[in-house]
Chain A
Amino acid sequence: MPAGTLYRGREGMWSWVAHRVTGVLIFFFLFVHVLDTALVRVSPEDYDKVVATYKTPIVSLLEYGLVAAILFHALNGLRIIAVDYWTQGPRYQKQMLWTVVGLWILLMLGAIYPVLGHAARVLFGS
């Protein structure tokens, strides 16, 4: 078992992993999202039919996951910029990561009702 380092297995490495995974997921969603929006040039009916799938409970849950990925990538991206440009950034990178995680949890709690509220009403009745 190699000795630990400042990076491996610690906050720096895992935030890098999460940033990369969320970035790839967002890229593939973006590609699909531009294609589905392009249906407005085909016909209103075709567009509305595809967007209807975005309103189902299962896809609402996927949207919640997408919001989770985007918010983490956004907040951690700002942390990366702070590490690069703020003179004290590298010193406080851990504290900034836990700030990112805390803000992310708060925003995700706030997103439950707007993103999943309709799905809950469909599944459990209003």
Chain B
Amino acid sequence: MSTDITDAVELTGSSVAPYSPENPAPVIEPPRARTKRTPRSSRTNFEMYGWLFMRLSGVVLVVLVIGHLLIQLVLDGGVQKVGFAFVAGRWASPFWQYWDLAMLWLAMLHGGNGLRTVINDYAEQANTRVWLKTLLFTAVAFTIVLGSLVIFTFDPNIR
């Protein structure tokens, strides 16, 4: 551990002492710092709210998803019991309808924002990023709309 730090300092080829609170490293300008030339339209806190959303939705999803896994995969015979009749029984209660609705929206938005980050990290060309994010947005919107409709238009007497 300590040798690692020594090596890292030697790599700089400088003879000054290692950085410390008394001898702080030089401040590096953030690559996306806002300047006067930054367009007004991008001067929002979108990324900060995205960051905050990942943490808030994450905490709620831990409860919703682990509860879902317990019900579907562990309790009362595990996945073997799941079928149309089981779904009908659970969605007869508004509590489980809203549980599943909250899980659907939060998980899709949490996962969608996560994949947006992954695309921004690995797709190097601006064109590729636009297309991948358009595809992602379409898939997320489609899944949220479809899932919400299925939960609230469910008909136990469909046949």
A91 within 8 A of partner (CB): no
Cross-chain contact A63 with B115 (CB below 8 angstroms): no
Q: A4 is contacted by which of B4, B79, B111, B114 (Cβ under 8 Å)?
A: B4
**Size bin of chain A's contact surface:** 35 or more
What is the minimal beta-carbon distance from A38 to any residue of chain B, in angstroms?
Answer: 5
With CB as the reference atom, state the residue of chain A lying closest to B84: A44
Task: Let me know if B69 is at the binding interface, CB within 8 A.
Answer: yes
Which chain A positions have C-beta within 8 A of B146?
34-35, 38
Tell me the complex Cα distance, A78–B139, Å.
27
The answer to whether A81 touches B78 (Cβ under 8 A) is no
B62's nearest neighbour on chain A, judged by CB, is A74
Q: B28 in the interface, Cβ–Cβ < 8 Å?
A: no
Q: Is the interface of B mostly helix, strand, loop or mixed?
A: helix
A48 in complex: contacting residue of B83, B104, B147, CB < 8 Å? B83
Min distance, Cβ B28 to any Cβ of chain A, angstroms: 15
C-alpha spacing A44/B8, complex, angstroms:
63
Is residue A92 within 8 Å, beta carbon to beta carbon, of the partner chain? no
| Per-residue contact bits, chain A 51-78, to B (CB 8 Å; 1 contact, 0 not) | 1001100001001000100110010011
Known: A3-B7, A4-B7. A117 touches B84 (CB 8 A): no
Residue contact B79 to A55, C-beta cutoff 8 Å: yes
Do A47 and B79 contact each other (CB < 8 Å), given the known contacts A27-B114, A38-B150, A77-B58?
no
Would A47 and B84 be within 8 Å (CB), given that A24-B115, A114-B73 are in contact?
A: yes
The 8 lowest CB-CB distance pairs between A and B, nearest first, are A3-B7, A44-B84, A27-B111, A4-B4, A114-B74, A3-B8, A34-B147, A77-B58
Beyond contacts A20-B118, A27-B114, A74-B61: 15 other A-B pairs, Cβ-Cβ < 8 A, are: A4-B4, A34-B150, A35-B143, A35-B146, A38-B147, A40-B87, A40-B150, A43-B159, A44-B159, A47-B84, A48-B84, A63-B73, A63-B79, A81-B58, A118-B80
